[in-house]
Amino acid sequence: MEQKPSTLDPLSEPEDTRWLDGKRKRKSSQCLVKSSMSGTGSPQDPRHPPALRSTPGRPVSLQDTPGSPGHPASSPGSAGTACPACIPGPGGVPADGGLPAVVLDDSKRVAKRKLIEENRERRRKEEMIKSLQHRPNPSAEEWELIHVVTEAHRSTNAQGSHWKQKRKFLPEDIGQSPMASMPDGDKVDLEAFSEFTKIITPAITRVVDFAKKLPMFSELPCEDQIILLKGCCMEIMSLRAAVRYDPESETLTLSGEMAVKREQLKNGGLGVVSDAIFDLGKSLSAFNLDDTEVALLQAVLLMSSDRTGLICVEKIEKCQETYLLAFEHYINYRKHNIPHFWPKLLMKVTDLRMIGACHASRFLHMKVECPTELFPPLFLEVFED
């Protein structure tokens, strides 16, 4: 018996439906897609050829699809033709009433991308506003604490808000002629160092007075008070100088009196510590801190429970937490425009702690190289171990 060729054998199809190499041509399946998208494109639609219609009890089979012998697009002599119901009519709309293919041009694609970005930015702002609305402001008790800390700072901050009008610039010839060599290769201008020591004693005294005006600090044992003051003194003095950075003259105003340039402060004995303080001043200038924020930042530095040798560690830690919570609520009240303002400001505490540690190491070098008579007694008392 002669075996009939299988309908699945590509070599059994007519020659005009096969490539020269014997491979089967890929037929367009648009008609199936159109029929599934169109509400009238069912197999019973009279607009489809009879081969695509189904009769009761006979579902559409694989042979009814394009490329099968039963489909008109696969019949002999119709190679390369599509289903008549799928041929696009006027305006690109298929004859079976299906949806036309949508292709965005460049201008529409750009507009769509812009719309997506605008919606994303709008949602981001809405989320930020919503989060700000749920951030608490200071309580009545915290407002009272904030008032006490702010007044303590203002009463011990030299020149107050008039520091720019009352400052005096250190002559440019001072701090430019290094004389004494340091072990690490840096130079110290003894004339500049002498000028700085003249203002260091009143600066230290103001920090001590600030701490004594805080009720929580006064309740601590005398031993803990001394340890806390020794640990935070350089940090608070550096903060007070950094918030008085002037970008126009590129100077820091020390103790509200003396405006100095970076090289003058560096050659005057601080070395690399000078760079750290100036860099801090530049970054803080964008924060636009008010007196209350500076005061609370000083209180947080003062109440650092990790200072070596403290007795009432837990009590000091609770005091710092109280200041931190009031500080955070005050930041919420101020509503700064800088994103993530609160965590960024807390990072400045780390920077100030690093400045204090670097200065302690630097002090040992200065003590060896500079004449002892140049060091004020209070300076030695605070920074000597």
Q: Please state the φ and ψ torsions of residue 82, each to the nearest 5 degrees.
A: -105, 170
Asked whether residue 96 is domain-assigned, the answer is no
Asked whether residue 317 is domain-assigned, the answer is yes
Tokens of residue 292, six digits: 């209350």
- Assign residue 317 the CATH number of its domain: 1.10.565.10
Asked whether residue 102 is domain-assigned, the answer is no
Asked whether residue 6 is domain-assigned, the answer is no
Q: What is the pLDDT of residues 155-167, one digit of tens each?
A: 999 877 778 877 8
35 band by pLDDT with thresholds 50, 70 and 90: very low
| SS3 letters across 16-27 | HHECCCCCECCC
Lowest mean pLDDT among 14-28, 162-176, 248-262, 288-302: 14-28
Q: Please state the φ and ψ torsions of residue 95, each to the nearest 5 degrees.
A: -65, -25
Residue 385 burial by CB count (10 A; 0-12/13-18/19+): exposed, middle or buried? exposed
Asked whether residue 60 is domain-assigned, the answer is no
pTM of the model: 0.65
Asked whether residue 300 is domain-assigned, the answer is yes
Mean pLDDT, the chain, rounded, equals 79
Lowest mean pLDDT among 251-255, 291-295, 307-311: 251-255
CA proximity to 66, closest of 54, 75, 74:
74
Asked whether residue 59 is domain-assigned, the answer is no
Most confident range (mean pLDDT) of 57-61, 188-192, 354-358 is: 354-358
What's the confidence (pLDDT) of residue 366? 80
In terms of residue numbers, what domain contains 153? Answer: 140-175+186-383
Count the domains in the chain: 1
Contact predicate 31/86, CB 8 Å:
yes
Q: What is the pLDDT of residues 208-242, one digit of tens each?
A: 999 999 989 999 999 999 999 999 999 999 999 99
Asked whether residue 148 is domain-assigned, the answer is yes
Rg (CA), the chain: 41
